């Protein structure tokens, strides 16, 4: 026997329920995709610093720092492999703690900060190790020479900052070792070691999304480009010259000799 036809209102109600259920599923899937999208963070130049150490004639390791790095990080802690990092490091701001050392290391045959004041790093792939560790591979461009390096990275924290403006902040530590010869720095081979140890401490603040309020008084303002943070060039300063070999470096003036104490006068005998 033919089945009785359902009323039109029942068919319409059923179709509407299916449509609503389908739309609900699509919206839920979109929400999951949106929530999984990596957030964009801006490096904090004040709390991001690069430390380098290199052997000094076998006696010790000279230690210097570079402050003021800028850049962007795209990061989802649940998907390290999808992270992306681009950094600009103002090499011209390096500091070895001594003015003469800084001048010598800035020369053309070493860091050549006159022609190459900024180094860059751009990640190419990331290999997660666990929830807080990963190997970050990327291209480091220093003195105009590009080489692949691997950073051993640790995620220290990812949380709301306790101080105003209370932005979500990510903190990382990273280490690596590079060869200075690989970047064209071959001067002073008997005095300066080839292996340069790098340690990076970095903080990055989540970028403001569309529709978010502008910073209020006292909040952190947009980060300037790394080149803007470089010290102004002195118009009267001559072009950098190559650092002289150690034998050519003038010796520091000796301190003036002090006059010896006069010999004691023998007492007169009675």
CA dihedral 56, 57, 60, 63 (to 10 degrees): 0
Structure-model confidence comparison of residues 111 and 241, the more confident one:
111
- The domain segmentation of the chain, as residue ranges, is 36-208+223-228
Q: Which of 12-16, 67-71, 178-182, 258-262 has the lowest mean pLDDT?
A: 258-262
**Is the pLDDT reported for residue 35 higher than 50?**
no
**Is the pLDDT reported for residue 22 higher than 60?**
no
CA–CA separation, 56 and 62 (whole Å):
6
Who's near 54: CB < 8 A, 6+ residues apart? 61, 62, 180, 192, 193, 195, 196, 197
Comparing CA positions, the residue from 138, 124, 114 lying closest to residue 230 is 114
CA 249, distance to chain mean position in Å, is 33
Comparing CA positions, the residue from 265, 224, 236 lying closest to residue 46 is 224
**Is the pLDDT reported for residue 227 higher than 70?**
no
Confidence of residue 19 (pLDDT cuts 50, 70, 90): very low
State the burial class of residue 22 (Cβ atoms within 10 Å of its Cβ: 0-12, 13-18, 19+).
exposed
- Contact (CB, 8 A) for 207 and 223: no
**Is the pLDDT reported for residue 144 higher than 60?**
yes
**Is the pLDDT reported for residue 87 higher than 90?**
yes
First and final CA of the chain: distance in angstroms? Answer: 156
**Is the pLDDT reported for residue 257 higher than 50?**
no
- Please calculate the CA angle 216-221-224 and round it to the nearest 5 degrees: 170
Class of the domain covering 36-208+223-228 = mainly beta
**Residue 237 dihedral angles phi and psi, to the nearest 5°:** -85, 135
CA–CA separation, 176 and 164 (whole Å):
33
pLDDT at 207: 85
pLDDT at 138: 98
Q: Is 123 left (phi over 0), alpha (psi -120 to 50) or beta?
A: beta
Comparing CA positions, the residue from 38, 41, 14 lying closest to residue 204 is 41
Distance (Å) of CA 16 to CA 4, 13, 20, 32, 153: 21, 5, 6, 24, 52
**Is the pLDDT reported for residue 155 higher than 60?**
yes
* pLDDT, mean of residues 22-49: 70
**Residue 206 dihedral angles phi and psi, to the nearest 5°:** -60, 130
pLDDT at 208: 75
Comparing CA positions, the residue from 41, 42, 40, 43 lying closest to residue 66 is 43
pLDDT at 210: 58
- Contact (CB, 8 A) for 102 and 142: no
**Is the pLDDT reported for residue 118 higher than 80?**
yes
* DSSP three-state, residue 25: helix
Report which secondary-structure segment, H or E, holds 35: helix 8-36
């Amino acid at each position: 026997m033919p089945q009785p036809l359902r009323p039109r209102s029942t068919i319409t109600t059923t179709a509407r329920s299916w449509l609503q259920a389908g739309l609900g599923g699509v919206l839920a899937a979109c929400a999951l995709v949106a929530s999984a999208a990596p957030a964009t963070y801006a490096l904090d130049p004040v709390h991001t610093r690069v430390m380098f150490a290199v052997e000094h004639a076998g006696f010790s390791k000279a230690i210097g720092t570079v402050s003021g790095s800028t850049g962007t990080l795209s990061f989802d802690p649940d998907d390290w492999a999808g992270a992306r990092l681009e950094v600009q490091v103002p090499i011209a701001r390096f500091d070895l703690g001594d003015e003469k050392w800084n001048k010598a290391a800035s020369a053309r045959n070493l860091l050549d900060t006159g022609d190459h004041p900024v180094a860059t790093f751009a990640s190419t792939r990331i290999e997660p190790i666990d929830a807080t560790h990963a190997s970050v591979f990327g291209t480091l461009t220093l003195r105009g020479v590009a080489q692949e390096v691997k950073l051993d990275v640790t995620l220290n924290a990812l949380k709301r900052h306790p101080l105003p403006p209370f932005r979500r902040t990510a903190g990382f530590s990273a280490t690596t070792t590079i060869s200075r010869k690989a970047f064209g720095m071959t001067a002073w081979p008997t005095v300066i070691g080839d292996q340069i140890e790098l340690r990076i401490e970095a903080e990055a603040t989540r970028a403001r999304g569309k529709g978010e309020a502008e910073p209020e008084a006292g909040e952190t303002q947009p980060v300037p480009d790394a080149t803007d943070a470089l010290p102004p060039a002195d118009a009267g300063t001559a072009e950098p010259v190559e650092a002289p070999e150690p034998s050519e470096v003038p010796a520091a003036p000796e301190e003036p000799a002090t006059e010896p104490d006069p010999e004691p006068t023998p007492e007169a005998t009675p």
